[in-house]
Structure 1
Amino acid sequence: MEFTHAGCKKKIPDHLFMCSELYIAAYDGQTDEVVRLLGESSGVAVESPTIRATPAAQAAANQHAACNIHEVTAERSTLLHVAAAQGHCDLIAELCRRDSNLLSAANSTGDTPLHCVARAGHTGAILAIARFARDSVEEDRLREILRGKNSAGDTALHLAARHGHGEAASELVAIAPAMASELNGSGMSPLYLAVMSRSVAAVRAVLSCGDASAAGPDSQNALHAAVLQNPEMVSLLLQWREELATQLDSSQSTPLHYASSDGDCSVIQEILKHTPPSATQLQDSDGLSALHVAALMGHTTAVRLLLKFSPASADIRDNHGRTFLHVAAMRGHVSVISYAIKNRMLMHILNEQDNEGNTPLHLAVIAGEYKVISKLLYSGKVQNHIMNYAGHTPYDLAEKSTGFYTMVRIILKLYVSGAQFRPQRQDHIVKWNGQDIIKWQATTSKYLAIVSTLVATIAFSATFNMPGSYGSDGKANLNGDRLYHAFVVLDTVAVTTSVVATILLLYGRIAQSHRSWPSFIIAMHSLWLSLICMLLAFFISIIAVMDKNNSIRIAPTRVMYHGLYILMMMLTKATMPGSVKGILMFLIGGRLEQERRAKRRIRRQYPLIVVYIFNIIVFAVVTIMALTAIDVIGNLRY
């Protein structure tokens, strides 16, 4: 029987496969036991696990079934690999004394014992291997042992740095300083790996070699990685080699780009201390400067810091001709916009146009960033009538915003600010078809129909469970009580409106056209009214059956009142397209000719907006009436 490894073409003979007793003794560092097991060997010398022994030697080894110092595991690791990985210095010394060839033996992944001990970070074992290597092998072989690479191209220093073993890395640099400048198969230096391990000690150890390489993947250097890891490492790297701050990766990004994207101002300040003002004006392959990157991520403090260091960088444009304010508006970062508005030195870029003629306001409208639009318009410093190179004003681009509700809010805000549409023949206006909201209506109608059916069922079943129950004559015990009569009326209204809502919603599902909108809106109001009436009926039924002198009955009154009040506030805030002042200006305003023209244009292109705003007002009125009813009902007994 022979053992194989998936990555090895040659098989391991039976007599060279490490026996369990020897492996356990080497793993546990039992030097005496290993010596005893090796001492019981037949004395047949086998030079290498890759060289087949003579038939006589194999027969002798099989006959005695003894352990051999050249036995290997399934991964072709020798006894020295096992002992080195566990840091057993005494056992390492014994094995090296018996056979120094084990120092350069490589397993299936190309790791030598020095790789194993470096990966585990055993400093003492590193010194032991280095000492025996110097004492027992010639110079060329010594270099191979100390600076050898595994199949991934890693030296022992790469492994120690990758795993953050600072002391081990320090010893390896002292033993073979040239390893600090070696790159592995992925183009990464030990310094880059030390930074990625977040070990300051490992970084210091590698930096002790002045010729160390800082290279990383994709043309990055160690500083690119350090700015996202540890401010202390950033300081160490910049003190070691300042030019790292201006080196570019494969996307032409500097470490300052990386630091600006993270927004850590302590790191940004440290980099700026070691760079000239021109460093902030370096642009990546997309034309983005560090200021653009900070604005894209919404790091206002970083934006302020970069502009303080280099005010001229505010004028830098990317490949699309956009300033940092353009990209901040696109991403909806209100804090960056607010800072720019307050800074007198940035006034000139508030209305700057990109390569397509879009101002920050244009881009904010396209992206549907309502808060940014509000901030820009409220400042009074932004011109809302500027046309881009396609002839569109921000008003014209509102139809491209994402979502119906967002579009309503933007158009209302632009109307209040006095924005203008582009000049256009009115018969050429294309009415907004609202395909998205038609789909939303179809999906919503299905679920609302289920809700309205449940409400009708519950309200109908309440007639068989009247408050106070029924008497022997089949009549309600509370007949004649004002609260009972109120319950009957509210329950009747709840049943009626929920049935009406169900019918209208089913009709809308069948029609699936713009004509179904009135029925959908009426159904929404009917369903909301049925829910309110059912809630009031439930509340009245509780009050009706309680003792008149029970002071505790005021508690459910307050709970329901405040609960509905909070619900109303949340729903109103979520559905209100703007301020009350703005809504009233849109509905009853229009005294100026400009306002009247804008309103006519909106009604022609966006007829649903007027309907939506009107229904929001109706919703608010119905809810306020419900709150008033609860307050009145709670005091009926008094």
Structure 2
Amino acid sequence: METEARGGMDTALYKAATQGNVGSLRKLVEKDVKILNSKTPQYNTALHLAALHGHAEFAREVLAVSEELIVARNADGDTALHLAAKTGRLKVAELLVGLARAWPDEPPDNNDQQGGQQPAARGGAAPQDRRGAGAAGRRLQPRLRPQREDGVPAAHGRPRGPHPCRPQGIRFRLGRAGGVPAICRRQRHGSAPGRARRTHHRNKDGQSPLHVAAQYGSTDAVKALLRHCSDVAEMVDINGRNAFHASVISGKANALRCLLRRVRPSELLNCADKNGHTPLHLAAKINHVECGQLLLNDRRVDPCVRDGDGLTARCLVEKRMRTGVTDTYQMHFWNQLKQESKTGKGQLLPPSSIRSKRRPLDDKDFDKVVDAYFLAATLIATVTFASTFTMPGGYDQAKGIALHGHNSAFKIFVVSNSVAMCSSIVVIFLLIWARQETAILRLHYLVWSQKLTIVACLAMLLSLMTAVYITVAPRQRRGLPMLS
């Protein structure tokens, strides 16, 4: 066996896991099946590494040999499913979710948020006994689950016969805890209501895989998790926050949009954490306007909910506006919160504590601003487009090329003129699209139009200066601090 690296994991196994090399895995397991028990310094198993790098076939092969690795945790308390959700590895996530749903439930420890250990472990059994109990469970599971005609268990979707990488001794080793195989005790007593499924396992922060997927914006993982177990959306972390809170805090609007489309109960959208903050409160407090807009556009969200201090989302926005600079997006968010608060749902809310110095931008004002930028962009595009056919200094009639093409100033002219023309054309299209979009996208397009118009004006000014410099006689420009 090669020298171990990575703080305990075999070098060859580490390379195979990170590269997804199934052939190398089979060779290593044939030599020593216990090699899959090795871990990195962060306590990542081969399954963790496969999930992290998105190697679904490698993960399937690992689970075929050592199925109990599906519940193994690293130093952060993450299972392989957590890592797959965090990195957006859809194929690995779907594989692990399918296996996790079929995994037998087990009673958690009294104070264990992470699902507890197997009864063999709680009974003080030795490590080899715990592995034996798991092997006994794998041996008995085909008898306890419905079979299809082809002999494949309906739960797992793969044969339960001898795997080419699994030594026969492992399948038939019967370890016992207290004289009774652990799997037999679970099947004898049934599945208690409080027993956590593997898809509901938490990391050290109490986050489920759905929390992690929402936090990192992995929409594919969010879809897969909700498709296989929709009730995972009800889980909260140690701060009392669900997946909606996690997506808002991280500012992942795509993940929030995905959750809004697939989670129906309105209670989850208005769920308050330990501080009384709903997802809308957090969007207002952190100034994640896009997430706040998505929540306000959903009729299930109640904007009048108060937090632990008796403040609504509008009050939090006003508090932030009093202490800092107010931008256009925040003003629009505040105005929309005021409008939603008027519908109030029968609640008496405090009067607004902010008297805006800016007049809200209505449709008429917006049209005037758009017309002004549209006119400026059109003029810049027209002038810069025409200057490409009337190059400073003229053309060589015989060759059809610019006479000053070798000059450094001419090159600056070409680049700056092109930038001005392209920027102005983009502004024109943005303003055309802005008339057809929602209010928040209108503001977004208008802000970008303003920035690009400034860029176009500066580029046009630079092209004008270089054009004048080129056309001035060499003797007359010797005193000019410009390019020679």
TM-score (norm 2): 0.52
Q: Calculate the aligned-residue CA RMSD, in Å.
A: 4.4
Superposed, 1:39-118 pairs within 5 Å as none
CA contact under 8 A between 1:391 and 1:422: conserved in structure 2?
no
The reply on whether 1:310 has 2:229 as its aligned counterpart is yes
Deviations 1:263-286 (A, max 9, x none): 222211222333337111111111
Distance 1:199 1:534 in 2: 60
Residue 28 of structure 2 corresponds to which residue in structure 1? 206
- In the alignment, is residue 233 of structure 1 matched against residue 58 of structure 2? yes
Residue 223 (structure 1) aligns with: 47
Measure how far apart 1:349 and its partner are.
0.2
Work out which of the residue numbers 249, 273, 276 in structure 1 matches 2:98. Answer: 273
- Aligned with 2:331 (options 380, 392, 408): 408
What's the offset of the Cα at 1:533?
11
Deviations 1:504-531 (A, max 9, x none): xxxxxxxxxxxxxxxxxxxx99x97996
Distance verdict in 2 for CA 1:529–1:327, change over 3 Å: closer
1:578 Cα offset (Å): 5.9
Contact 1:256 1:290 in 2 (8 A): yes
Matched with 1:100 is none
**Which of 367, 373, 376 is the equivalent residue of 2:295?**
376
Aligned to 2:163: none
**Alpha-carbon contact 1:393-1:422 (below 8 Å) kept:** no
Question: 2:335, 2:62 → 1: CA distance?
Answer: 53
- Whether 1:189 aligns to 2:10 is yes
In 1: Cα distance, 2:442 partner to 2:33 partner? 67
> Closer, same or farther in 2 for the Cα pair 1:342/1:287, shift >3 Å?
same
Q: Deviations over 1:549-576 (max 9, x none)?
A: xxxxxxxxxxx99996752453687899
TM-aligned CA distance change 1:391 to 1:573, over 3 Å: farther
- CA deviations on 1:424-478 (whole Å, 9 max, x unpaired) are 577xx477899xxxxxxxxxxxxxxxxxxxxxxxxxxxxxxxxxxxxxxxxxxxx
Q: Which amino acid aligns with 1:206?
A: L
> Once the 2 structures are TM-superposed, how far is the Cα of residue 383 of structure 1 from its aligned partner?
0.5
CA contact (8 A) 1:307 1:313 kept: yes
Q: Distance in 2 between matches of 1:253 and 1:433?
A: 49
For the pair 1:263 / 2:114, whether they are aligned, the reply is: no
Farther off after superposition, 263-272 or 228-237? 263-272
3-state SS of the aligned residue for 1:216? coil
Q: Distance in 2 between matches of 1:318 and 1:341?
A: 19
Q: Please state how far the C-alpha of 1:357 moved relative to its aligned partner.
A: 0.9
Distance 1:227 1:534, change over 3 A: closer
State the alpha-carbon separation in 1 of the partners of residues 378 and 6 from structure 2.
74
Aligned counterpart for 1:244 among listed residues 69, 77, 95: 69
Instruction: Work out whether 1:366 is the aligned partner of 2:366.
Output: no
Matches within 5 A, 1:532-571: 567-570=427-430
Distance 2:299 2:69 in 1: 44
1:218 alignment partner AA:
Q
Point out the more displaced range, 308-317 or 574-583: 574-583
- Which shows bigger deviation, 314-323 or 234-243? 314-323
Cα distance change of structure 1 residues 578 and 310 upon mapping to structure 2, 3 Å threshold:
closer
Contact map agreement 2:377 2:427 (CA 8 A) in 1: no
1:216-249 CA-partner distances (Å, limit 9, x unpaired): 2212211111112311110111001011110111
CA drift of 1:204 comes to 1.8
Distance 1:580 1:189 in 2: 54
Change (3 A) 1:201 1:575: same
User: Are the aligned partners of 2:201 and 2:208 in contact in 1 as well (CA < 8 Å)?
Assistant: yes
CA distance in 2 between counterparts of 1:566 and 1:203 reads: 53
- Alpha-carbon distance change, 239 to 415 in structure 1, aligned in 2, over 3 angstroms: same
Which residue of structure 1 aligns with residue 246 of structure 2?
327
> Deviation per CA, 1:170-214, whole angstroms, max 9, x where unpaired?
xxxxxxxxxxxxx44722234234313443332222111223233
Rounded Cα–Cα distance in structure 1 between residues aligned with 2:235 and 2:332? 32
Q: Answer whether contact 2:381 2:421 (CA < 8 A) is retained.
A: no
Amino acid at match of 2:427: L
- Partners of 1:272 and 1:312 lie apart in 2 by 13
Q: Distance in 1 between matches of 2:327 and 2:52?
A: 40
- Note closer, same or farther for the CA distance 1:582–1:383 as it changes in structure 2 (3 Å cut): farther
* Letter in structure 2 aligned against 1:392: L
Q: Pick from 75, 79, 95: which aligns with 1:254?
A: 79
- Report 1:95-174 matches (<5 A): 157-158=2-3
Contact 1:187 1:216 in 2 (8 A): yes
Equivalent residue number for residue 108 of structure 2: none
Higher helix share: 1
Q: Which has the larger radius of gyration?
A: 1
CA shift for structure 1 position 317: 0.8
- Structure number with the bigger relative contact order (C-alpha 8 A, sep ≥ 6) is 2
Q: Does the aligned pair in 2 maintain the 1:392–1:422 contact within 8 Å?
A: no
Displacement of 1:386 in angstroms is: 0.8
Residue 388 (structure 1) shift? 0.8
Asked whether the 8 Å contact 1:259–1:267 carries over to 2, the reply is yes
Q: Shift of the alpha carbon at 1:350?
A: 1.1
Question: For residues 395 and 362 of structure 1, what CA distance do their matches in structure 2 show?
Answer: 8
Contact 1:251–1:285 (Cα < 8 Å) also in 2: yes
Q: Is the 8 A contact 2:284 2:317 kept in 1?
A: yes
The equivalent residue for 2:189 is none
Match of 1:472 in 2: none
Partner residue, 2:203 = 284
Asked whether the 8 Å contact 1:314–1:346 carries over to 2, the reply is no
Q: Closer, same or farther in 2 for the Cα pair 1:211/1:431, shift >3 Å?
A: same
CA distance in 2, matches of 1:530, 1:313: 53
- Residue deviations 1:57-113, cap 9 Å, x none? xxxxxxxxxxxxxxxxxxxxxxxxxxxxxxxxxxxxxxxxxxxxxxxxxxxxxxxxx
Which runs of no fewer than 5 residues in structure 2 stay unpaired?
Answer: 104-195, 359-368, 388-419, 451-484
Instruction: Give the residue type in structure 2 aligned to 1:199.
Output: N
Distance 1:579 1:273, change over 3 A: closer
Q: 212-221 or 257-266, which moves further after superposition?
A: 212-221
Counting only pairs closer than 5 Å after superposition, residues 328-347 of structure 1 correspond to structure 2 as 328-343=247-262, 345-347=264-266
2:439 maps to which of 559, 565, 579:
579
SS in 1 for 2:237: coil
